[in-house]
A and B are shown apart, each in its own frame.
Chain A
């Protein structure tokens, strides 16, 4: 009970830069602020910042797991080795294809679904609830579910497309076939994340005031014109944020292709490649170099996106 009653009148004033003496209460609050964030800062330092710095350091050494020798400093040798490794180039290629295609498809489909849910119709609440289901299902489970659906002989997808609808001339081994393995993985991610994208964009649509559309209709603008000239520009901030988050998420993809095909060359991504060097080959130094490369790619994305966002606002 250190707070004196007579300080009340000054303490509740938010402006503290005035010449008036700062009250006990305000000082106590600032002190408390630092005390309260200390545990969080300590934990984040230990489980995130220190490891990140350590990975940067390890990437410059020849450290190996389980080796008793002290790691030797190599400079950028690990990076040079990585960039020359054909597996790295394959993984990089897959990761870029995966990121570009999933983000593009999820954004377009997500926007379409968001526009549909945004309109008034019976059963709207149920559709919106259903959108949460793919998001709530763990990625490992989704991957396993789809792997069985993609099964060449007993899978429901071949049953639908070949046996029942006759859209295919033969059953396709979607996951075993190198040409369809990556598209299959992309399809699973699009299924899992499109509904979530739709919900993010729906939240953006809901803050656009409805009366501007009435005014535009009175002025004779078609629905399509309204979409291109009003909805899309007004949705841009929500769209950009969703794109940033999705791109970062897609670029570090690991779970889905790993559960479906392990470290197989048809679907190896940078995330899988990094873990393979680290765990399977025990190469701590080179695994760290790949981790740093993934991290830098993501940082570059964020910088580009925020720069685009800024230059648009200006």
Chain B
């Protein structure tokens, strides 16, 4: 693959030979194959969500819904439990992300810009936390949630979601603050600002793009979380969309209502895909920020 990949730019000078044309065709076939492999499963979810209930069980399988039907979406949009789950997920994800950004941006500014002893210990502990396995603390969190009467509440999810949103936010924003030029603080100092004013009035507005990207990534993580949501909730009061989709079942046993499941799945996924595609450049930069330096 490396050969085909790097042969490409060199074909310009001379006219392409037969071998080069063949290798180019093979290369594009490979690209098309990768694209189909990557996108087809989601295409399939969308197609399934637009089929009539009976058409799902046709053999051979229909590769395009005929006719296009909205009955699955009708079901999902009139399903009170699912709509409540959508609301729960939105509240939990938004609040936990805002909390993580509010608390985390303070720490990130300190770790990225301010000199103080013990900084590296805090920084590397935070990095270690971003890879912390949630299952390792699940028993204690479960006990804490029950002891504080927070079982089956949104509050329980908001707080426990900080275990992964906060360290991530701190780590990414710290790297972001480090890239801002030092002259800004010096200028602000000349103007007689206190260090906190410097942070609040000068650096924070400049960090807005970093805050948006970090917030978006943390939002995706919170929106998609499953283990805590499954363990700390019991019914519609606090159930999130992921748990609702995982537990979707028909009222009459045998085959699952795949059309409804896929309609719900598409609904909770399309906003994420749209956001990710809009912010793709920044997301790739944000995700690889800590990872490629070695």
Report if A and B associate in a common complex.
yes
List A residues at the B interface (Cβ < 8 Å): 1-3, 5, 8, 11-12, 16, 25-26, 28-30, 32-34, 36-37, 39-41, 43-44, 47-48, 50-52, 54-55, 58, 63, 65, 112-113, 115-116, 118-121, 123, 126-146, 148-149, 151, 153-156, 159, 163-164, 191, 195-196, 199-200, 203-204, 207, 213, 223-224, 226-227, 231, 237-238, 240-242, 245, 248-249, 251-252, 254-255, 258-259, 270-271, 274-275, 278-279, 284, 287-288, 291-292, 294-295, 298, 302, 309
- Asked if residues B269 and A136 are in contact (CB atoms below 8 Å), the reply is yes
Known: A29-B114, A156-B44, A199-B284. A248 touches B131 (CB 8 A): yes
Prevailing SS type, chain A contact patch: helix
Contact: A29 with B195, CB < 8 Å?
Answer: yes
Q: How far is the CA of A188 from the CA of B27 in the complex (A)?
A: 25
A66 to chain B, nearest CB (A): 8
A58 touches B262 (CB 8 A): no
Which 6 A/B pairs are nearest by Cβ-Cβ distance? Answer: A237-B294, A138-B224, A51-B140, A119-B5, A33-B114, A40-B107
Question: Is B143 touching A133 in the complex (CB atoms < 8 A)?
Answer: no
Give bound CA distance, A302 to B133, whole Å. 13
Whole-angstrom distance between the Cβ of B58 and the nearest chain A Cβ: 8
**Which of A33, A141, A191, A288 counts the most chain B CB atoms within 10 A?**
A141
Q: Mark B1-26, 1 if CB is under 8 A from A, else 0.
A: 11111111100000000000000000
**Residues of chain B from 257 to 272 with CB closer than 8 A to chain A in the complex:** 258, 261-262, 265, 268-269, 272
Given contacts A30-B114, A43-B162, 5 further A-B contacts (CB under 8 A): A29-B115, A37-B122, A48-B132, A123-B31, A271-B227
B: contact size bracket: 35 or more
Q: Is the CB of B258 within 8 A of A148?
A: yes
Name the contact of A139 in the complex, choosing from B194, B224, B273 (C-beta under 8 A).
B224
A113 CB → nearest B CB, Å = 6
In the assembled complex, which residues on chain B have CB atoms less than 8 Å from the CB atom of A241? 291-294
Which listed residue, A123, A207, A295, touches B136 by the CB 8 Å rule?
A295
Task: Assess the A40–B6 pair: CB atoms within 8 A.
Answer: no
Query: How many whole Å from A297's CB to the nearest CB in chain B?
Result: 9
